[in-house]
Every structure is written in C-alpha cells, then in structure tokens.
Structure 1
Amino acid sequence: MESNWIGLLTAGLFLTILMADGVISWTGEIHGRVVCDVCGDSSIGPEDHVLQGAEVAVLCITKSGEVLNYQAFTNSNGIYTVAETMPESERWDACLARPISSFHSHCTHLGDGSFGVKFSYNHPSGYSHTVRPFVYRQAVVPAYCA
C-alpha cells in the first residue's frame, strides 16, 4: 500500500515538473499496408492479398533536426504502425517510409513505385498519416492472370 502511494506521488511530482517547465507533449502516428499484387497489374483485385510480417522502415526528422529510425512489421491485416509521443518542440517534421522485405517466398519483388514515400508531417497531436500501400509482386505471374 505504501509503495503504491509513493509511486502515485512520484508520478504526480513528475507531471508537475513537466507542466512547470511548459513542456507540451505531442503524439504522432504513421501507418500503411503491404500487399501482394499476384497478377502484377498494379491494381488491387480479388486475387491479391495482404502480407503479414512484411518489414517497413520509417525515418523521420524532427523540428530540431534529429533523425529517428523506426522499424515495423505488418500484422495479419497487412498493416504496419509507428507511433511516438515526444515534446511538441521535437515533433516530426518530415518522414520517409520504405519497404524493407517480404518474408513470403512467393511474393518478394517490389512493384513499381514501391521503393519509398517521402512526406511532410504537419498533423496536430493525436492524428495519423496514412502511407499509400507498398506492393510486392510474384516472380512468376500465374496463368489465370492473363
């Protein structure tokens, strides 16, 4: 019971110090999808599927010039997410998202225009930026795609 009270007191003191210094926190989020374009036709159709476990790198430069490097993997819906909370003065200014690898042996070739996306990040705290899907293609297009 006493350790809980001390923990609460310490957390309250920390928040008071942050507020006294005028530090305002900011939270940002970047997310996107990774897809296997089975027929290689550059359009998402019923034959295509999301890629779970695909690796994506996101590099962001902050307002103060610091470069932050994030690594994310897609979930079962093919979605990756990067999120950060930091002081408002250190928030993201610009970012680059790029696919690193697909662990699906049948779909490992990056599609056209899927080498990376640069963007400015000018969203207020609590908002997110959606990156267009990254597309991998199969080495051999199935006969039913013709």
Structure 2
Amino acid sequence: MNSASGVQADPDCVASFQELKLGKKVKFIIFKLSDDNKSIIVERKAETATYDEFLKHLPKNDCRWAVYDFDYKTPEGDRNKIVFYTWLPDAAPIKSKEWYTVNKDALFRSLDGIGAEIQDTNYDGVSYSTVLKSVARG
C-alpha cells in the first residue's frame, strides 16, 4: 500500500503481522521508516514480552509504529486485541513526526485485524492501564 508520499510497507511487515495475528508466534512488532524514507520496515519483533518490555523498545527521541497482542481480563473471561500504536514522542524531531503521521496509512491499511488504535506522545498515554481503558470500551 502506498502513502501519499509514495512510501510502501515492506512485504515483511505484513508477513510479521500474520505471525502475530494468526500464528500467535509474535507478541509485538515495531516498525520504522527506512533510512531513505522510501519504505516501512520491521525494526524489531519479539516472540514473548511483557507489556513493560514492549514499551522499553519505543524510543524516547524518535517516532515508531507498533502492534502489540494485548491480553486483558474482563468479568466474562480472558480477552485480547491487537493494538496498533503511532508513537510520536514530544522529543522527536518535527520532521520525523510529520513523516510518521503522513505515512501511517501505508502501514495501517495493510494490517487487517487491528482491534484498537492508540496514538500518543508520552509513556503515560501508552501505559497498560490507559490502553486497557481504550480496548475494554472499544
């Protein structure tokens, strides 16, 4: 899928997402723009990770997209949703925030099965309790 600026998601992005969604072989994936800003690539993926371990991989000074297989409990039982993150930290360069905002759809539209979407600029906004409130109501 192309974005307005011509950026495309690398085929490995979708393949990795399928491992997470269907195979349950991956707990999270972090995506980034390639160094030449022409494609979206997988930066990191993990087969197992706690939510706090996942958050440690979101950089303090640059933007990323990510998906996390979010597990939570309800009175009806255990649940999970695949959550898509657009991470735009306050300390990131303005140009990076612009690129990640403009090109999000090139990745987002290629990932079928997202259960919730979070966009934030600080770690409080992506804390487990904050994300839990979002996924539990949606």
TM > 0.5 fold call: no
Per the normalisation by structure 2, the TM-score is 0.32
Higher helix share: 2
Q: By percentage of residues, which structure has more strand? A: 1
Larger RCO (CA within 8 A; separation ≥ 6): 1
